[in-house]
Amino acid sequence: MTSAHHEIHYVQRSPWLRAAVLGANDGIVSMGSLLVGLGASGSDSGAILLAGSAALMAGTMSMAAGEYVSVSSQLDLERADLATERAALESNPQEELEELAEIYVGRGLDTELAHQVAKQLMAHDALAAHARDELQLVEDGTRPLTAAASSAVSFAAGGILPCFPALLVAPHWVVPAVVAAVACSLALLGAASARAGGASPIRAVLRVVSWGMLAMAVTGGVGWLVGAAV
């Protein structure tokens, strides 16, 4: 009797997990730092609301545009490399075979077996074999518009969390309220990302919370200095 053996791997989640955590973390820290800076400068509720709303919209659109351009540029580079490799396979197939075999020898196969593997893989799909093993290209299904939408949504979802306490408390309570909200939000984000990626939640929480607190401390200090000067 045989039993099915299923291993749980998390690396397949890497593309979407990285984008989601980056967007949400950026939203929480950016908006939290801005609101802390405004609160420390002595701004009134109207100014905080106006600046917070504008920053949330600007950050959301910036994340979407940046992710779209980034993914599009990466895809352009990959297409150019594939075109170069396709031309090399057509003009020098034997040299490409030797190149692929050398890669497998470097990974631990003996020369004869490496050549056999290279021949079989190239007979099946030469371009795919070279794309995977020579160029290290892995198709993860990411598309520019999808990446842009994901980043925009995650930034907005994260960025709106520090806004609620800033709107609900008196101006002189904005700083402690936002700091508390950001700390809790980052802790939840770190724990959720660690759970999704199979990592240690304690290390993830400490990492995101400590960097978020540092960012707000710097921004709050600048806001206090500007407010004191004005």
Number of domains the chain contains: 1
Check residue 149 and give its pLDDT: 86
170 lies in some domain: yes
The answer for residues whose C-beta is within 8 angstroms of residue 58's C-beta and 6 or more apart is none
2 lies in some domain: no
3 lies in some domain: no
- Give Cα separations from 4 to 1, 7, 12 (angstroms): 10, 10, 21
User: For 19-29, what is each residue's pLDDT tens digit?
Assistant: 677 788 888 88
113 lies in some domain: yes
Q: How far is CA 78 from the centre of its chain?
A: 19
Exposed / middle / buried, residue 12 (Cβ in 10 Å: 0-12, 13-18, 19+): exposed
Distance (Å, rounded) from C-alpha 23 to C-alpha 29?
10
Distance (Å, rounded) from C-alpha 70 to C-alpha 68?
5
Q: How far is CA 76 from the centre of its chain?
A: 19
1 lies in some domain: no
Check residue 197 and give its pLDDT: 64
Residues 35 and 6 sit within 8 Å (Cβ to Cβ): no
Our CA angle for 215, 218, 222, nearest 5°, is 135
- Give Cα separations from 52 to 39, 58, 94, 158 (angstroms): 11, 10, 61, 13
User: For 101-129, what is each residue's pLDDT tens digit?
Assistant: 998 988 888 888 988 988 898 888 888 88
4 lies in some domain: no
Check residue 10 and give its pLDDT: 42
User: Tell me, what amino acid is at 197?
Assistant: G
217 lies in some domain: yes
Task: Determine how many CB atoms are found less than 10 A away from the CB of residue 117.
Answer: 18
Structural domain boundaries enclosing 126: 14-229
34 lies in some domain: yes
Residues 19 and 144 sit within 8 Å (Cβ to Cβ): no
Distance (Å, rounded) from C-alpha 168 to C-alpha 161?
12
pTM equals 0.72
Check residue 134 and give its pLDDT: 84
Check residue 16 and give its pLDDT: 56
Q: What residues in the chain have per-residue pLDDT under 70?
A: 1-19, 140-141, 196-198, 223-224, 226-230
